[in-house]
Structures are given as C-alpha cells and as structure tokens.
Structure 1
C-alpha cells in the first residue's frame, strides 16, 4: 500500500485534503426538541464502523434499521475486512450482498434484534440506495417520518441530498438527518502523513481515499457534467464553497502530475 506522503508533501496539501473530506462528511443531527427518530438507514460501504454506529443509533431510537446495498465496488473490500477480523463464517460472505453481510454482523456480532432488520439487497449506487429503499419501505407499509442516514463519510453529503430528492414526492414526507460516524482527517507524524490517531482502524488505502474524495466534487457540481439539475439531475443543487473548489484544484494538480495516479485516481 502506498503512503500518503508519496502524494502529499506539504501542510498545504494535507490541509486541502482535510477540507474536502470535512465538506463531504456532512453532519446534520436531531436537536433535543426534534421528533423521535423512527428509522435508521445505512447505505452499503466497506467501513465497518459506519454500520456499527447505525446499529447503536437504531437501538437507542428503538426503531427498525435498513441496510441498503447489493453487490458493488465496495463489496470485496468489505468481505476482506470482515475476513481479516474473523467476524463471520464464510457462508455469510460468499456471494452475499453488502446488506446481507451487514445484517449478519448486526444480528450475530453486534446483538441487534433480527426482527428489526430490513435488508435492501439490489442497489449498487447511491441513487439506487435511495430509490430501492423507498420502494421496499412502501412494499412493507413502513412509514418513516424521521430518518438518520449513515454512509461512508466521503459519500455522506451526496447520500443525504440524494435521499432528499428521491423522497420529495413521497406520500409520507420525511425529515432526514446525516451522521457520517467520523470525519476523515490526515496528520503528519514523524514526517509521515497518516490518518489522524483518533480515527477507526482499517480505513481506505491512500489511493482509494483520494480517489473517493476527488470523485465526489465533480459529481456534486451543478453543471453539464455533474449530478445537479443542470447535469444528470440525480441530486438537487449543492453549493460548493469557493475554498472547497480551490482545495479540489490544488489536490487535482498534485495527483494529475503524479505518475502513479495520473489517469486512474481522478476517474
């Protein structure tokens, strides 16, 4: 695995990456006077801590928990992480969707009641997470009005606005909250750039992390190539602050000029 230091040389480089990651890790939490949470939704990814936190939130709220995720680009990474920690027997991993794997972890490892689990096993992207979850809840006659969303922190903002858009024509209007579990952050220690010490173990490889955050900004843009109304129309308009665009251009220049990542990490 490559080190961050092979891509990021200065504190300005690290600051730019941290700014982008913080922007994407949208946190919108219920207030003390908010209505009780009646559903938790976890969109599939390869970070175990997000699913564990979703279980805790659903237990605290005494509400159902939806795991949404079929077999996609994160599935094998999830399987590798579960295998590495020896958390589940192989029959719970082979040819299983992300939601089935997380469901098994929830019921067998994290003591979440199986009767409160809802598994959406078809979705392979953020839009399908929202569409298929909404459809499944309708089939089950589950009417959720206050929903907390959990996702890979690098995709938390896009997940939040995607669910809002998909639910806007729902017969049962929902209020969404967004909880990324943690905010990714880099730091320098003994001259080496690493994840901050207080973050969970087993995070993305440097290449994957940089690829994820750099892929999100173009998707969030409201232009002909983005996912906003002026582009593909998958999400509502999202304001991207000038300082985030500046940070993106800074990191883009670093990676585009790096022989190891040019033409690959920026896709």
Structure 2
C-alpha cells in the first residue's frame, strides 16, 4: 500500500530540490551565460537547443559542462532508448557527458543558426560532479578570455539543481576573474526545465510530468535514491557539503517541512519493498 501522503512527501522534496526560478529558458531575455550540466536526462539539452534555435540571442555564451561521473552510464542508456538520438549510441560510448550533448547538438540542431547572433559555444569535459562543474566552468570562461557573467542560467537535473547552484555561488563568491581583475556578483538562475512529480493509485507510485514520458526519466529506484541522498548533502553540518562540513557549497536553509518529508521518505525506503 502506497499512501497519498508519501506521494506528497516525494513531491515536496522534488519541488524544493528543483529550485525552479525559470520554467522556460526562452522567456528570460538575454543571459550573459547559460550553463548546461551533464546528467542522465536528455530533456534539458533538448529544451535549451530548441530555445536557442528559436532565439539565437538568448545568451552570449553557452557552456556544456560534464566529464565522466555517476550519471554517465545512465546518459548512454538514455541516448540508446531515445526515439531520435539512439543513432548516436555506438559513437558516444566512452565520451564525457558534455561531449555526448555536443554530438546531439551538432547532429540534430542548427548550430550555425544558434551561433548566428554571436553565441559562443564552450565545452568543459573534465568535471566529475556538481562541485567541479562550477570550478571547471568558471576556469574555462577565464581561460577563454570571457568576462565573468553578471547573469547565468544553470540547467541541470532537477534533483541536483539546488546543490549545483549553491556550488556555483560558492566558487563565484570565492574567486575573481584574474584575467580581468573583476569582482562581480553573478546572478545564477535555476532552470530545471521540469519539476518531477508523482501520483499514486494506492498501490504504486508513477511519474506525472507533463510532456515527458516516464521512460525518459530516471528509474523509480534511482529517483528515490537521488531525493533521499540530496538532503544530507545540502545540510550545513559536519556531514554535509555546507561551510560547517565539506565546504563545497554556500549555506542552504532546509525548510523543516522538507527535512520531515525526507525523514519519512527514508523510513519508507527502508521498510517498503513495493517502492
């Protein structure tokens, strides 16, 4: 038996982690920079590339970031199952996540049109986690002679969005662009593309995400693992990633209702095989 309250807890955690500040990447105006982070999901890349085809002046710089990490094998599998991108399945094996997205961009989208208004494409393929996405992206911008952006949209797997933005804020706050001697407070805007939600019929939980099929998402087990694993990482204590712990991210305030929901989810994961 799966209760509606469990679905409510999952949806509360998922919505909070998604940190949706911008639902439609094409609706903002112009960003100095847009960063697409590698993950096992393809919707984020597809949405960004389509938006740029329709509005090439959306950003001055697009950085695709991501090396080989815990989501890479899932990305290969997602490409192999995609109704269009599957043709790349063999040639992407062994590639960093950013290079997989680059292959998709060059093969299925109009890169010439995307860059027609001056948008510069940069590929960062060394980072292995959310923290190094931030470090390597800002290093790449500096190495490419690009001034620190004042506005930067972050596009990432919704379950990792809040931590990713906190990581970019941490790195940005601690460094200046040495090439320009600047100290600029970048406004990082979270754009998860969609917010994952679930529904229950009393016996099982199912994804309910408009315009996204369940087969294009994580497995349920992976989704629960991501949700329950993020809350301890975001805590600012000795075991978390905040300043009082590993110091990978800026301080994040976790609402009590999110902590309570995460505790109940963890209990459910430990006691229910039906999930």
Give the TM-score, by structure 2 length. 0.84
| Residue 62 (structure 1) shift | 4.4
Contact 1:35 1:146 in 2 (8 A): no
Q: Deviations over 1:3-37 (max 9, x none)?
A: xxxxx71001110010000000012249xxx8831
Q: 2:126 aligns with which of 100, 122, 126?
A: 122
1:103 and 1:236 map into 2 onto residues whose CA distance is 30
2:123 and 2:209 map into 1 onto residues whose CA distance is 33
Partner of 1:74: 71
1:90 and 1:188 map into 2 onto residues whose CA distance is 34
2:91 and 2:35 map into 1 onto residues whose CA distance is 21
Partner of 1:105: 104
Where 2:60 maps in the other structure, the secondary structure is: coil
Please state if 1:45 is matched with 2:50. no
Partner of 1:153: 158
Partner of 2:266: 252
Task: Name the stretch that deviates more: 70-79 or 84-93.
Answer: 84-93
RMSD of equivalent CA atoms: 2.2
Task: Name the stretch that deviates more: 138-147 or 15-24.
Answer: 138-147
Contact 2:2 2:203 in 1 (8 A): no
Contact 2:65 2:137 in 1 (8 A): yes
Where 1:214 maps in the other structure, the secondary structure is: helix
Q: Deviations over 1:160-208 (max 9, x none)?
A: 1110110112234222111000000001258542111515121000100
2:59 and 2:37 map into 1 onto residues whose CA distance is 19
Q: 1:63 aligns with which of 60, 65, 73?
A: 60
Partner of 1:265: none
Q: 1:183 aligns with which of 177, 190, 195?
A: 195
Where 1:64 maps in the other structure, the secondary structure is: strand
Where 1:92 maps in the other structure, the secondary structure is: coil
| Residue 95 (structure 1) shift | 1.3
Structure 1 residues 66 and 95 mapped into 2: Cα distance closer, same or farther (>3 Å)? same
Task: Name the stretch that deviates more: 152-161 or 137-146.
Answer: 137-146
Task: Name the stretch that deviates more: 99-108 or 172-181.
Answer: 172-181
Q: Which runs of 5+ in 2 are unaligned?
A: none
1:72 and 1:179 map into 2 onto residues whose CA distance is 22
Structure 1 residues 134 and 197 mapped into 2: Cα distance closer, same or farther (>3 Å)? closer
Structure 1 residues 46 and 92 mapped into 2: Cα distance closer, same or farther (>3 Å)? same
Q: Deviations over 1:98-118 (max 9, x none)?
A: 000001111211323486321
Contact 1:218 1:226 in 2 (8 A): yes
Q: Which runs of 5+ in 1 are unaligned?
A: 1-7, 262-267
Please state if 1:19 is matched with 2:12. yes
